[in-house]
Amino acid sequence: MTQLPDQTDKKLGLVIDLDTCVGCHACVIACKGWNTENYGAPLSDIDAYGGDPQGSFLNRVHSFEVQPCEGAAQTVHFPKSCLHCEDAPCVTVCPTGASYKRSEDGIVLVNEDACIGCGLCAWACPYGARELDQAAGVMKKCTLCVDRIYNENLPEEDQVPACVRTCPSGARHFGDFSDPDSNVSRLVAERGGMDLMPEQGTRPVNKYLPPRPKDKMRDLEPTATELTSVTEGPKGFLGWLDKALEAI
């Protein structure tokens, strides 16, 4: 059985804002592209354009329609990848030591040279965050783009996970949770960041910010301010364009 470190110097991880995630899958494509081209063996795709496509993805986005007890229904887009748990069961069940948690930053990784593809880590993970790469015969998972975040040859703004760098809505944030003044720690404190399935006792490092209710419907009757703005007509460029079209 592989041992977990007693403590880690840092707790690097992600904060994912479910309120601003639009489900565009840009993070999925960026993750697939970066990890296929750079870290370890390429992520396989089998019969990608056939009738039964299969492939390895380290990050996926699930979409749900949520109906609260009170209020309007809303769609929640839920990105999911490895949560780099402090008490990672995927590590402790590994028979070869291929799965391990780094003491310097808390990132959970897989040594592909030592992995035998037994799948025990996938069974132990309560989040379904590990996938067997059928072409390589080894287990794959999110690495937090460890080959990016420490790469001094990249510009500073690119030294973050590919999913964070590419997110168009700013829903993904990367930082050190052991620092109470870091951006991710402040977001969790201010917005009530949550653990995924805390009852499992895995103490995930990654956190989720809950979506805000979308049931605050405005009155159907226009306000006086809106009526005034309509009667005044467009201003600026639109006003100029309106006058120009009238003159034609």
pLDDT in the model for residue 41: 72
Sign of the Cα pseudo-torsion (198, 61, 175, 36, in order): positive
Question: Which pLDDT value is given to residue 68?
Answer: 73
- For 108-158, the pLDDT digits (tens) are 999 999 999 999 999 999 999 999 998 889 999 999 999 999 999 999 999
Angle at CA 54, nearest 5°, toward 134 and 172? 100
User: Rounded to an integer, what distance in angstroms lies between the CA atom of residue 29 and that of residue 221?
Assistant: 43
CA distances from residue 4 to 1, 94, 106, 217 in whole angstroms, order as listed: 10, 11, 10, 49
pLDDT of res. 180 = 97
Q: Locate all alpha helices (DSSP H) within the chain, ordered by sequence.
A: 26-37, 89-92, 120-124, 146-149, 162-166, 183-191, 224-232, 236-247
Write out residues in the chain with pLDDT < 50, as ranges: 226-227
Using DSSP's 3-state secondary structure scheme, residue 2 falls into: coil
d(CA 45, CA 56): 7
- Token pair 């997110």: residue: 167
| Assigned fold of 12-209 | Alpha-Beta Plaits (3.30.70)
Residue 91 is predicted with a pLDDT of 97
Tokens 């109906």 correspond to 67
CA angle 220, 226, 232 (to 5 degrees): 145
Residue 204's pLDDT is what? Answer: 97
The pLDDT value given to residue 71: 72
